[in-house]
Structure 1
Amino acid sequence: MASSAGLALCGQTLVVRGGSRFLATSTASSDDNSFFTYDCNDEEKKSREDKGEDGPPLALGSGAILASTFSKSGSYFALTDDSKRLILFRTKPWQCLSVRTVVRRCTALTFTASEEKVLVADKSGDVYSFSVLEPCGDGRLELGHLSMLLDVAVSPDDSFVLTADRDEKIRVSWAAAPHSIESFCLGHTEFVSRIFVLPAYPELLLSSSGDGTLRLWEYKTGHQLCCCHLARLQEPAEPQDHKRFAASRIAFWCQEGCVALLCDRSVPVVYFFQLDALRQQLVYTQQLSFQHRVWDVAFEETQGLWVLQDSREAPLVLCRPVDGQWQSVPENAVLKKVSDVLRENWAMLEGSAGVEASFSSLYKTTFDNMTSYLQKKEERLQQQREKRQQSPPPGPNGQAKRARPGRAAWTC
């Protein structure tokens, strides 16, 4: 299984991850060239050495990072890996605070707005909370679904926990009493891949799905405000694939009210939308193509859109709007600094798949068993017709005639 490459940004702190490793640095040009690097596999080795255990490590996983996120202020950073661990960091300065075990492999995580908890969603449909203030505390089960969870979010005031699952639902639950459901946002016809509460408009929610749509919701009431069909936005030269449009990333630029969407497709395109807050609508503005496969995107308020792509020569691209159109900018000092380090550590990114790699198995599969049934039925009818043709015709009383035995010859 290919490892997942990803990008995370908060303020001027940038994190690039690949496989079991991540590296963090500052995008401020005034800062030095220091980098913080971390390898999840090193943590397992250290833990075994502390316990005095010998021999090979347990085959729990490769340590590949499955999901990662910053807290709202950027003071904390958390990740989960496929060895079923939740690892919490302090970022100022960088320091690993705790390594805790989760019940199942996780699909998404987020901090509460208060930064007191980390919420972790897993494949079984459960959401657990882990304390930030008590870094070694056990997890607590908060809520559950009957299907796999693909994303989790919280409202800016921490009143609601929002969850997206494979069965097309977005559930809005009260954080203080998760068994109490405020609403459902229903309308998607495939799994919901991503949800994102707009920080500048706390009552609005963006969602994307395998059905090829980007939708805007008033999530407390479950009312859909806008639906954009991504297949209709394709350039004429692009293949007309009306599936595989689940977003692997929804990014929002508060400064300009701009939404960037990266989709589950091999075509390296980022879609841009403008939020019309007055009419509560999304307006499609542009799609930006790249020369290499795009792994992830993230906005930085002061710089623009950072793009992580599958290219050792140019692993990072910085894009900004020029005369109303997004385009890549020439390499600057910060971009060169980070790109140089990524080239030196390219082994952690090489062979990576995007976050969307896990989506391919989530689409519904239609089984056409009626054609097989009708074919077998026709074969049975044909066999019955052939049997009737081979049997003797019926007699006067409706029964088949029987052959009369021959009379014996009498001789004198």
Structure 2
Amino acid sequence: MSRDSHTSKRTLELCDDDSFFIYDCSKAERKPQEDKGEEGQTLYKGSDNILASTFSRSGNYFALTDDNKRLILFCTKPWKCLSIRTVVRRCTSLIFTATDEKILVADKSGDVYSFSVLAPCQGGKLELGHLSMLLDVAMSPDDRYILTADRDEKIRVSLFAAPHNIESFCLGHTEFVSRIFVVPNHPDLLLSTSGDCTLRLWEYKVGKELQCFHLNKLRNPEATPFEKNFAVSRITYCCQENCIAILCDCIPVIYIFQLEGTKKQLIYKQQLTFNHRVWDIAFEEMQGLWILQECREVPVLLYHLENGQWQPVSKHEVLKKISNNLHENWTMMEGGSPGMDDSFSSLYKTTFDNMTNYLKKKEERVQQQLEKKKRRKNP
């Protein structure tokens, strides 16, 4: 498990022999990427913070992008860095195709580039573009469709072989779309989340919304009410249990849902609340739900399904090994992540009450005119 959204400069992974592979981006091949102003002055110099990361479906490859506009590809058996390539813009999301042949990278300018896995030093190819910042990219399990989510509330479904052919739009969110996820064992279904605090289920090929949950209404009665909007930063899925877990970006809460695939329906099951910030979550089919949190003493938690409810596991050898390693190397997890409230805060719509200001100024002008008339009559 690795933190992947404005995260630390290092990634830590557990190898097959239970040893750990640690990669430090700050020591990687350095090709400084700087944004230049009109007169050539440096506006921004990238850091080595990891912006996004993902495994291939087979688990044979792992890729990450950092704030210094680098795309770094690894093989995992054994762990080895295969290539370091430069991307055009800072990236927000990336995904492997099901065949492990390409990496698709979505960036802040609204474009998706593909990079070859088989030719790890080959440059990227522009596949499609939006007029708005892209926040997530997904693929159908058969690699036929590419799905993109943007800041302007849209989910676009395109043919991967010809991305200029748009199959459908999934429209309904009222704020930026933060995450999208095609359900692996129900490949016609899409999950999406947004800054409008909703989780939605779609038949994405025809752009049909099947269900909508308002997450801020699912709180426990005794819980403190939310004072502001929030978005979902992670969607993870367990095929064995048809279970969905979603992590919110600014509250230490994980929502659990069950998917009834034949009925194409989500059922809300459970809410997990924590005392510390939760950085990431991931299902492992045979192990359970792994949770990475901001707590040096207990950095990783593992939950198992017992009697229909997800419960914490106290004794587990792999959990103990990972926790001990993170505890000893805790400094690599710190310093690279902004405040929990900041990850999506700049993406929300801002409204301006121009009418109130206009009416106030108009009233002042009317009063000034009345005063002038009064002075003329009574010099």
Contact 1:296 1:354 in 2 (8 A): no
1:340 maps to what in 2? 324
C-alpha spacing 1:6/1:365, structure 2 compared with 1 (3 Å) = farther
In structure 1, what is the equivalent of residue 11 of structure 2?
A: 22
- The answer on whether the counterparts of 1:295 and 1:354 sit within 8 Å (CA) in structure 2 is no
Q: CA deviation at 1:227?
A: 0.5
Comparing 32-41 and 240-249, the one that deviates more: 240-249
1:9-158 counterparts in 2 under 5 A?
18-26=7-15, 32-44=17-29, 60-158=45-143
Counterpart amino acid of 1:286?
Answer: Q
* Aligned-partner residue type, residue 148 of structure 1: M
User: Which of 279, 283, 288 is 2:263 aligned to?
Assistant: 279
Cα 1:208–1:354 shift into 2, 3 Å:
farther
Unaligned runs of 5+ in 1: 9-15, 49-58, 394-399, 401-412
Deviation for aligned residue 1:320:
1.2
Question: Quick one: distance in 2 between partners of 1:199 and 1:76?
Answer: 18
Aligned to 1:225, the other structure's residue is in SS state strand
CA contact (8 A) 1:6 1:355 kept: no
Greater alpha carbon shift after TM alignment, 148-157 vs 275-284: 275-284
State how far apart, in whole Å, the 1-side matches of 2:316 and 2:157 are.
43
Rounded to whole Å, the distance in 1 between the matches of 2:6 and 2:364 is: 58
Question: Aligned partner of 2:61: which letter?
Answer: Y
2:190 is equivalent to residue 205 of structure 1: yes
1:153-164 matches, cutoff 5 A: 153-164=138-149
Paired positions, count: 367
Pair 1:17–1:74, CA change in 2 (3 A): farther
Q: TM-score scaled to structure 2, two decimals?
A: 0.92
In structure 2, stretches of 5+ residues that fail to align are: 33-43
Larger Rg: 1 or 2? 1
Is 2:210–2:265's contact at 8 Å kept on the other side of the alignment? yes
Aligned counterparts, 1:305-384, within 5 A:
305-351=289-335, 352-353=337-338, 357-384=342-369
Which residue number in structure 1 is paired with residue 37 of structure 2? none
For the structure 1 residues 142 and 355, does the alpha-carbon distance in structure 2 shift closer, same or farther, using more than 3 Å as the test? Answer: farther
CA distance in 2, matches of 1:243, 1:282: 25
Code of the residue aligned with 2:205 in structure 1: it is K
Greater mean deviation of Cα atoms: 126-135 or 319-328: 319-328
Q: Is the 8 A contact 1:6 1:17 kept in 2?
A: no
The answer to whether the Cα contact below 8 Å between 2:195 and 2:348 also exists between their aligned partners in 1 is yes
How far apart, in 1, do the equivalents of 2:239 and 2:88 lie? 36
Q: Secondary structure in 1 aligned to 2:28?
A: helix
CA contact (8 A) 2:152 2:176 kept: yes
**Alignment RMSD (CA, Å):** 2.1
| 1:213–1:245 contact (8 Å) kept in structure 2 | no
Shift of 1:392: 2.3
TM-score by length of 1: 0.85
Structure 1 residue 216: Cα displacement: 0.4
Q: CA deviation at 1:387?
A: 1.3
Distance 1:106 1:387, change over 3 A: same
Residue identity in the other structure for 1:151 = D
Give the C-alpha shift of residue 235 in structure 1: 2.0
Contact persistence 2:111–2:130 (CA under 8 A): yes
- 1:217 pairs, out of 182, 188, 202, with 202
Residues 27-73 of structure 1: CA deviation (Å, up to 9, x unaligned): xxxx644111111111136x89xxxxxxxxxx842211100000010
Which secondary structure does the structure 2 equivalent of 1:326 belong to?
A: strand
Q: Deviations over 1:285-330 (max 9, x none)?
A: 1101112111110000001000000100000000112211112111
Please identify, of 108-117 and 237-246, the stretch whose mean Cα deviation from structure 2 is larger.
237-246
Q: Structure 1 residue 241: deviation in Å?
A: 3.0
What residue in structure 2 maps to residue 172 of structure 1? Answer: 157
Distance (whole Å) between structure 1 residues aligned to residue 314 and residue 52 of structure 2: 30
Contact 1:204 1:219 survives alignment (8 Å)? yes
